[in-house]
Chains A and B, each alone.
Chain A
Amino acid sequence: MTSKTQLTIRTEQDEKAVILCLVGRVDGTNASVLDEAVRDKIDAGQPALLFDFEDLEYISSAGLRVLLLAARRMQAAKGKTLFCGLSEQIAEVFRVSGFDHILPVFGTRSEALATV
């Protein structure tokens, strides 16, 4: 077995936001990869960051921390951080950890982008 869990980050540029599609799993072994990718996007100066979790299978607390960091950084840069496409399992993780109180979660991309 490899020591790093499989994660692919696909980036799409919308006129209102940069969309990060996470494919696979985020856990302690690859959270830093996600962190770096997110940092790059924020440093490039994006008005909004939309995480599309349509193809995300799993996220651990180390991954949630990266999302929280992203939201804080975007807030400091007067930008927005949005989430959409949560599977039932990931919605449950958001619900149990209380992240759904803190982070704006939407059903679909267009619902999320409509708020930017």
Chain B
Amino acid sequence: MGATRILMVDDEEDLELLVRQRFRRRIRKGEYEFLFAHNGKEALEALEENPDIRLVLSDINMPVMDGLTLLGQLEETKPDVKAVIISAYGDMDNIRTAMNRGAFDFVTKPVDFNDLQITIEKTLKHINALEQALKNRDRLVAIRRELDVAKQVQLSGVPAELPVGEAFGVHAIMNPAKEIGGDFYDFFELDEHRLGLVIADVSDKGVPAALFTMITRALLKSSSRRHDSPSRCLHEVNEFICQDNDACMFVTVFYGVLDLRDGSFRYSNGGHNPPRHLTADGAVSELPLTGDFALGIADGHDFGENAVTVVPGDALFLYTDGITEACNHQLDEYGEDRLDGVLGGDAPMGARELAESVVDSVERFADGATQFDDITCLSLRLRLLSGGAGTDGSQ
């Protein structure tokens, strides 16, 4: 660290000599460097030229611009410069005025250089603490900004608009927790007959999770264009994210492809909560696991695949554990039974109403308790197959 530069403002030339003499050791050691001005105006000019000066030692009675006027100017234009007043012992009125104008401290003339030394050190300590606090504040502002970016990334991690089709209704809800989480869903039309449904949950929160989310979504989307088989796609994404995954981040991913020609739904489940299959008679069943695990844990794994048949009137409900693990004030969990209760029986036919009824039910249960995890779900109701066979009565 270089010398601390201190500006001494006094019209008495002797003081300059005295200061240089008394502080010669510290000046020689490179701890202090003194600059001198002879009135307030010169002092302001010196500060203008040397913006690194934070400490001013100033007399009160000086020609051209006195010390009190200088203090007023400093307070207005250089709030990070601290001033110590040096004035005659009998000049208490002026010293009081100076303190009221923001002087940090004062020493009296004739100057006791020991006291001046202590005052300088004390003031420098204060200045450093202040600067540190400002730096911390700036860092905090930077972090906040980064978090805002991450939130944007997270929100851009889901499709802005879901397609509307005659053959199906689809709706998704994502209520992020206060901290940036790593849930995402995706829905895309692979071609005119096949729909891709994705739901996923990254193991961490914050900026790294948001980026991991974005990468996973992009990889899966690109993989889905190259391979028809969901298990093949998860395999490919897993191989990719297992490379250099020192942070051990992992993501649970469910990916299924619904064929609108025959209602077949082929899926692979990489460690995600099993989605639900709702049949027109009000029954709810879990889509059986495929014996796989979360992506990013281990490479070289061949993912399994299952298939179910969805008929017009049936619905699929994909969700993340933010739903089932939502807690009320007593820390009871919402749980799968409540979820299946809402999904079963006479659950709403519309995909939107179905998703909303679940999220409403979770919110009623939590009753305002802190939401620790993202709440995300995707619902799809099949209306008719491309072959033309529709449901009777349902929309």
Contact = CB atoms under 8 A, between A and B. Distances in A.
A108 interface: no
Interface stretch (B127-135, B287-295, B385-393): B287-295
A45 interface: no
Given A65-B249, A68-B297, A98 B292 contact: yes
A1 B366 CA distance: 13
Interface in A13-48: 25, 27-29
Mostly, the A contact residues are helix
Given A68-B250, A96-B274, A60 B373 contact: yes
A1 B329 contact: yes
Interface of A: 1, 3, 25, 27-29, 58, 60-62, 64-65, 68-69, 72, 95-99, 101-102
Contacts of B273: 96
Given A29-B372, A65-B203, A60 B325 contact: yes
B372 A28 contact: yes
Given A62-B204, A68-B250, A98 B270 contact: yes
Contact of A61 (B292, B293, B321, B333): B321
B242 to A, nearest CB: 12
B248 A72 contact: yes
B259 interface: no
**A-B pairs, 5 with minimum CB distance:** A98-B293, A97-B271, A61-B203, A65-B203, A98-B271
A1 B331 CA distance: 11
A102 B294 CA distance: 10
Contacts of A95: 289
Contacts of A98: 270-271, 291-294, 297
A27 B372 contact: yes
Contacts of A99: 271, 293-294, 297
17 contacts: A1-B369, A25-B331, A27-B373, A28-B204, A28-B373, A58-B333, A60-B325, A60-B373, A61-B203, A61-B204, A64-B250, A65-B250, A95-B289, A96-B271, A96-B273, A98-B270, A99-B297
Interface in B224-253: 248-250, 252
Nearest to A100: B293
Mostly, the B contact residues are loop
B252 A61 contact: yes
Interface of B: 179, 201-205, 248-250, 252, 270-274, 289, 291-294, 297-298, 321, 325, 329, 331, 333, 369-370, 372-373
A2 B204 CA distance: 21
A28 B205 contact: yes
Nearest to B331: A25
Nearest to B252: A97
A28 B179 contact: yes
B369 A61 contact: no
Contacts of B252: 61, 96-97
B373 A97 contact: no
A8 B385 CA distance: 54
Contacts of A72: 248
Nearest to A69: B248
* Residue from B202, B294, B325 having most chain A Cβ neighbours under 10 A: B294
Contacts of B321: 60-61
A70 B297 CA distance: 13
Nearest to A98: B293
B318 to A, nearest CB: 14
Given A28-B205, A61-B201, A96-B273, A102 B248 contact: no
Nearest to B290: A98
Contact of A62 (B203, B291, B294): B203
